[in-house]
A and B are shown apart, each in its own frame.
Chain A
Amino acid sequence: MDTDQLIRTLAADNAHRAPRVGAVLTMALLVAAPFSILIFATFLGVRPDVMTAMHNPFFDTKFAVTLSLAIPAIIVSLHLSRPEALLRGWGWLLLLPVGLLAVAIGSEAMMAPAMPMTMRLMGKNSRSCLMAIPAMSLPLLAGALFGLRHGAPSRPALAGALAGLVAAGLAATLYASHCTDDSPLFVATWYTIATAAVTAIGAAVGSRVLRY
């Protein structure tokens, strides 16, 4: 086939309209979410003292942190699904949860501690946290990667890592309602390790499946 013939063929297909990447990503995450929620409902569930926990600002802070990871990660991943896009100017959005955690750790340090620091950091749920967040992330990661495949990222591994951050942020939001460890020190340690693992998987898979 010569190039003129190919061009003619492409022009004949011009009527085909693909949906925007954002729409496909949203649909894919909505399809994936029930699988993660099923894992949550089967093995974890909302903590029994949730009504009292809601009066604890550090319980609420967990959701602020996880959502301030997930939502900016979605925004940045959509930005990077355009081939000419750069991370520059957008990367700071991903520092929001870090800043929020730093403020929360600082606030907790100024209060009279109910427990010694090491106990707050180690918590009671570190192992469950390290297993549950990655497990609930996997369906969401598959969904995010599927959605981003519709885009044209110039750096597939980076886009895959962002898919990992999206998945981990959403999974951690679910997990936060189960976990009885509310100390920002616990969140900064164990949630971060779990998120890093999911992000690494996302980058590894993304470097293969997000090429276009």
Chain B
Amino acid sequence: MRGREDEWTGLMRSAMTGDDAAYHRLLKAVTPVLRAAARRGLARAGQPPDQAEDIVQEILLAVHLKRHTWDSEAPFAPWLFAIARNKLIDALRRRGRRVFVNIDDFAETLPGEAPQETASAGEVSAQLGTLPQRQRDVLQSIAVEAASIKDTAAKFSMSEGAVRVALHRGLAALTAKLRDQ
């Protein structure tokens, strides 16, 4: 457990200094843990587990947009679990339940306990459709078509800087829409 969390902290430190591959690996590594905890939270609230993926995606977006609040001298896991817990509580509350989420739900998750599958979620996809054209195009190109920023820029005759701006704004807008829905 400690080893896993130390590895996360190391990956996040690399990510913050510009290592995109480390960031990608970190997000992949934490997702099964988040998924298992989301399922457990839903089960405890008497909700169907099929909404877990929506919650996982919301947590990932929040982690991404708030990662500047992580202190790189501090371990990563407590920060991650605090964000995950807040998002899970929000999501369950929105579904009409007031529940208590135990932080140990996250910490106790054993590696490999959760299936490694990737699942589609409805909410992000639905909100994607409400974004401005340019942001939607850029997000779709990078997410669905797996295009690089450079290729996306060429495809839409945009500068790479403009693609980056549209990408970031799109993610921020998506998060705001999910929060306020």
A contact residues vs B (CB 8 Å cutoff): 1-21, 81-84, 150-152, 154, 211-212
Contact = CB atoms under 8 A, between A and B. Distances in A.
Contacts of A20: 68
Interface of B is mostly: helix
B1 interface: no
B120 A2 contact: yes
A12 B62 contact: no
B69 A151 contact: yes
Contacts of B53: 3
Nearest to A6: B57
B82 A84 contact: yes
Nearest to A11: B24
B125 interface: yes
Interface residues of B, number: 52
Contacts of B149: 12
B24 A83 contact: no
Interface stretch (B2-10, B15-23, B40-48): B15-23
Interface in B65-116: 65-71, 74, 78-79, 81-83, 85-86, 90
B37 interface: no
Nearest to B74: A84
A84 B118 contact: no
Contacts of B90: 211
Nearest 10 CB-CB pairs, A to B?
A83-B82, A84-B82, A11-B24, A152-B66, A4-B118, A18-B68, A5-B143, A9-B143, A2-B120, A7-B27
A63 B31 CA distance: 50
A18 B74 CA distance: 18
Interface string B53-68: 1001100111011111
Nearest to B125: A1
Contacts of A83: 66, 69, 79, 82-83, 86
Given A5-B143, A11-B24, A13-B167, A82 B120 contact: no
A180 B69 CA distance: 43
12 contacts: A3-B57, A3-B121, A6-B61, A8-B146, A9-B143, A11-B21, A11-B27, A14-B15, A15-B20, A17-B68, A83-B79, A84-B81
Given A3-B60, A83-B66, A152-B69, A12 B179 contact: no
A211 B175 CA distance: 11
B23 A5 contact: no
